Amino acid sequence: MHWIAFLAAAIALFLVRVLRAPDKSRRVVAALWFVSAFAVTTFTVRVMSDRADITRPTEYDQFVSHAADVASDEANVPLILFVGASFTRNGLDDEELTRKLRAEGYPHRVINLSLQGASLQERDAHLWSFMRQARRVPDVVFLEVADEFDRDPAYVFSVAKFSDRAIEQFDPGSVYWSMKGLAQGQCAGMAACVKSWGLLKVHALMNWTNLGLLSTGRSAEDIEAVPAFDPKDEPRDNFLLEDAEIADALNTPAEIIPDIGPSWARLFRMDQRRRLEEIGVRRIAYYYPPVIPPEERQYVARLCAGELAEYPCIAPVDQQLLDLLQGQVWYDDRHLLRDGAEVYTDWLAGQIETWGALQ
């Protein structure tokens, strides 16, 4: 237990003692005393843990620690952050992209800050965690766009429930956006909506009452630094697509009609851009690594032509790229092996220059 957490626990016990109800209180009065004491204690623990930057440690926090170390090592170099999910974690070699951009005369340092199954809210929270920890603002932020995350405002429940990762995510801001999306019907049927609403309420309560924070919480400097890029060398055992099937999917042309994402996701991106611009991020861009299903590539291409048309937006619909990815360079139908990541990273460097994303 971090010493701040120990101190917070001690103060909490003291407050419980001091704020106890009078011995002869009526039930209603006693209940009010209990609620008041609980609220004061919870608030005190939260303030102290926030001041000490104590969090429920997750794999994403390890990536943030590594990113902050890189930013510290290259303190005078402008930063480019790619913030996404597993598509980016497996598919984008930030070290190699840095080398390629510097070979073209750009001084920037690229950092991959991505985690499998990370929702829009979780990515945003860890982007801001990085900026607090590094005490720096990136020059450019690339934000991953994907249909499956836009469709589900409570995506975290697909990958984690009743865990530190799930509990930590549901701060008031994340709860607001999840509720907004669910209220708009962004879930797969009535049963899924009811389940997500129930899980949302329980996880929000656990977050707001600091459940597990004092026992498992750790400060940023105590979290092991691990790079996010996670190249794979062998495909999944259940990935059985033949070369011809891969080629057929990658040769399916995208019908690019300008479109916008679900209302909650579109409004979330608008709010995220506003906050990043206010803090000094010079350029915000969007992207999506290549996947085999053509409809998923098409979704992003349509958003690039519609909702995100005013921003650099790099969708993987370039046939030259897709031709190079035909064959066994896939971990599964949505993630690249190391060889595929090399192809995508090389292509992406050219696209960044073409789009003028660093200008």
Q: Is 351 domain-assigned?
A: yes
State whether 63 and 41 are in the same domain.
no
Asked whether residue 210 is domain-assigned, the answer is no
Query: In sequence order, what are the beta bridge partners of 113?
Result: 83
Please tell me whether residues 48 and 71 are part of one structural domain.
no
Q: What is the DSSP letter of 162?
A: S
The CA distance from 299 to 288, in Å, is: 10
Q: What is the largest CA-CA distance in the chain?
A: 80
Same domain, 345 and 244: yes
Which residue from 163, 5, 134 is spatially nearest to 63, judged by alpha carbons? 134
Return the ∠ at Cα 115 (arms to 112 and 118), rounded to 5°: 125
Say if residue 14 is in the same domain as residue 142.
no
pLDDT in tens, 120-136: 999 999 999 999 999 99
pLDDT tens, position by position, 284-306: 999 999 999 999 999 999 999 99
Closest CA to 348 of 297, 314, 320: 314
Asked whether residue 99 is assigned to any structural domain, the reply reads yes
Task: Dump the DSSP string for 124-164.
Answer: HHHHHHHHHHHT---SEEEEE--HHHHH-TTGGGGT-SSSH
The answer on 106 and 14 residing in a single domain is: no
C-alpha 118/C-alpha 115 separation (Å) is 6
Specify whether 116 is located in the same domain as 233: yes
Instruction: Judge if 19 and 85 occupy the same domain.
Output: no
What the block records as the tokens of 216 is 């498992």
Q: Are both 111 and 236 inside the same structural domain?
A: yes
Domain shared by 111 and 48, yes or no: no
Position 294 in a domain: yes
For 8, the token pair is: 């917070």
Would you tell me how many other CB atoms lie within 10 Å of the CB of residue 328? 13
* Domain containing residue 257: CATH number: 3.40.50.1110
Q: Containing domain of residue 96, as a range?
A: 55-154+217-355
Half-sphere exposure of 49 (CA within 13 A, CB side): 30
Rounded distance between C-alpha atoms, residue 259 and residue 263, angstroms: 12
Residue 120: the pLDDT is 98
Structural domain includes residue 336: yes
pLDDT for 283 equals: 97
- Of the three residues 37, 52, 67, the one that is the final residue of a domain is 52
Q: Give residue 2's pLDDT.
A: 47
Residue 39 lies in a domain: yes
Whether residue 85 lies inside any domain: the answer is yes
Average pLDDT across each block of 10 residues of the chain; the chain has 359 residues. List them in order.
Answer: 49 52 56 56 60 76 97 96 98 98 96 98 97 96 98 93 88 94 88 91 86 67 92 95 97 97 98 98 98 98 98 97 97 98 98 87
Instruction: Indicate if 7 and 147 belong to the same structural domain.
Output: no
pTM of the entire structure?
0.87
Domain count across the chain: 2
291 lies in the same domain as 309:
yes
Residues 219, 135, 130: CA angle, nearest 5 degrees:
60
159 in a structural domain = no
Note whether 78 and 32 are same-domain residues: no
Q: What is the pLDDT of residue 187?
A: 84
Tokens describing residue 120:
């829009």
